[in-house]
Amino acid sequence: MGLKAVHFGGGNIGRGFVAEKLHLAGYEVVFVDVMDSIIEQLQKTKEYTVTEIGGEGEKVNKINNYRAINSKTHEADVIDEISTADLVTCAVGPNILKFIAPVIGKAIDKRTASKPIAVIACENAIGATDTLAGFIKDSKNTPPDRLSSINDRASFANSAIDRIVPGQDPNAGLNVKIESFYEWVVDKTPFAKEGHPEVSAIKWVDDLNPYIERKLFTVNTGHATAAYYGHARGKRTIHDALQDSEINKIVYDCLSETSHLIVKKHGISTEEQKAYVEKIVKRISNPYLEDVVERVGRAPLRKLSRKERFIGPASQLAESGDKIDALLGAIEQAFAFLDVKDDEESAELSKILKSTEAKEVVTKVCGLEESHPLFKQIVPIVERVQKNKK
C-alpha cells in the first residue's frame, strides 16, 4: 500500500506548498475542507499546476494523485482516511485548529496501525501543532481513558514554514503561483522511536525554536513592515514599497533590531543572519510575485498579538533594554491599518480603538501586562492613532 497524507485546507498554501511537496515525495494526498466550491473543484479536476517563480524564471509542477472530501458532509469518510494514513497536515489558519481537532481526535482514536500517524500543523504561528494537539487531547475530542495511550497512535511535531504565496490570478482555478524559495523545518524529536516520515522537502531538526523565531522575526516582520508603510504611502505592491528608499531603510532598521535578538538569543552568527536578511529582502522585493500590500497586511489583530512578528521581538528586546525604535514605528503603522476592504480584523481593530481606552487596547490587542517594559512605549502609540482617527 502506498503512502497517504490527509491534508486539511484546500487553499493556496495547502495546494501550492504542502500538497505539492507531499506529492513530489510520493504521497497520495487527500484534501479535507468545508468549502464546497474548493472540494467540488478538486473532485472534478484530476490535475492542477503549481508555478514556482524565482529570479531564474518559472518552473511548473503538475500535481495529481489526490482526492478531496468535504468534512462538513462526510465526516465519517475523513475519519476513515486519517485512521489509515501515514501523515496528517493542515494549513487552515491558527484560529481554525479547534474546529478540525474533533475529527482528527476521533480518527486517531480509531487507529489500529502499529506505527503512529505523524501530525504536523503547517501554520504561520509558533507551536501550532502543540495548539492542535491540545485541542485533540481535550476530553471532548479524546476519551480520557484513551489519553494515556494516544502517543501510541499519533506523534505530534511542530514545524516552521516559509514560502510566499502572492495574490493569484482571478481565473487561475486550482492552479497556484508561488515563489520558488521555501523552507519547511520540522521537529524530529517526537519521532525518535518510530522514525520520521520520508518527505525530502522537510528539514528535520532537534531544536525548532531558532528556525521559528528567525523566520517569524525576519521574513514576517520585514514583509509586514513593508506592507503597513506601503499602505500608508499609497503603494500597490511590496515591490513598489521597497523601491521607496525611506521604506526600504525602515525595513532594514527593523530587521537590524530583530537580528540583534536572534544573534544574541540563538547563537546564530552576525554574518549568517546578515546574509539571511539580504536574502529575505530580495525575496519579498520580487516584482514577479505581484504581492499586494493589503493582502500582506491583512489580519492586523493577529499580527499585533503577543508572540507575533512585532510584539514578540519588541517585548524581548525591551526586557533587555535594547533598541526598538524601528519596531515601534512599524507597530504604529500596524495599528493604523484600519477599515481596509475585505479585512475583518482591520475593521474590528478600528472598533476597538474607537471604544476602548489606550491602556486597555495594549492589554487586549498586544497581550502585554502594565508592568512590562514595552507596555508604556505602546500606550502613546495607540493614543496617537486614536487621535488621528477622530
Catalytic residues, by residue number, are: 215
CA dihedral over 42, 45, 47, 48, signed as positive or negative = negative
What's the CA gap between 327 and 310, in Å, rounded?
7
Q: Which three cell numbers stand for residue 88?
A: 496528517
The CB density around residue 117, as the number of other CB atoms within 10 Å, is: 24
Contact 91, 32 (CB under 8 A): no
CA 150 to chain centroid: 26
CA dihedral over 120, 124, 130, 132, signed as positive or negative = negative
**Hey, which residues does 67 pair with through a beta bridge?**
30
CA angle at 234 for the pair 303 and 247, rounded to the nearest 5°: 65
Phi-psi group of 339: left, alpha or beta (phi > 0 → left; psi -120 to 50 → alpha; rest → beta): left
The CB density around residue 32, as the number of other CB atoms within 10 Å, is: 29
CA-based nearest residue to 99, from 38, 19, 8:
8
Going from the C-alpha of 285 to that of each of 259, 370, 374, the distances in angstroms are 19, 38, 30
What's the CA gap between 79 and 102, in Å, rounded?
10
Long-range contacts at 52-59 (CB < 8 A, ≥ 24 apart): 52/178, 52/179, 52/180, 53/177, 53/178, 53/179, 53/180, 53/286, 53/288, 53/289, 54/179, 54/180, 54/181, 54/286, 55/286, 56/180, 59/180
**Three-state SS for 165?**
coil
